Amino acid sequence: MKKNVKEIIDVGNNIYNKNLVSGKSGNISKRIKTANGDIVAITPTLKSLANLKPEDIVIVDFDGNTLTSGKPSSEVNMHLEIYKKRDDVNGIVHTHSPYATGFAFSNKKIKRLEGFGEIKNPYLPDIEYEKPGTAELAKSASEGIGDSDVLVLKNHGVICVSENLKEAESLAVFVEESAKTQFITYMLNSAEDII
């Protein structure tokens, strides 16, 4: 268990230092297979991902019952619903990275660029806004992600999922860099009209 907890803390530090989350935003979870069934380790609510301690990480079962002390992220049900629908997912990273979230607040979509798997659709999938922490968001996100590895939450942020947590982290970085590249492209193209 210590290894799993340490991995979540490390990923939290990494995505904070890469400016994919700020303040107390974002959350991370990892599915852990045990002899008694799957459980989930998740970051706590209202704590910065920059300086988590092992005792901050909360363990929950698939019904959302806490198995350790602490209060899990308010998005715990969104994570659990995705795990329930996707046996192939063992790590989830939810960010509010500035460029990708900027797209989430706009009418522009993020193009799916080469670098992470087969391009099945030209744009990353998205879902309409649902209030964070609600059952409606959990249901909409778990359905909206389908078999994709990324989901844009309109007016909110981004979810990245993978077979392991490090891959989900790498994907979150890639999505933000893709959004940044596209933003710069839009700005350069619009500047041509002015020059």
Cβ neighbours, 10 Å, residue 80: 24
pTM for this predicted structure: 0.94
Please identify which residue in the block is written with the tokens 């659990």. Answer: 80
pLDDT band at 61 (very low <50, low <70, confident <90, very high): very high
Structure confidence at residue 113 (pLDDT) = 83
The per-residue pLDDT of the chain, averaged, comes to: 94
Active site residues: 75
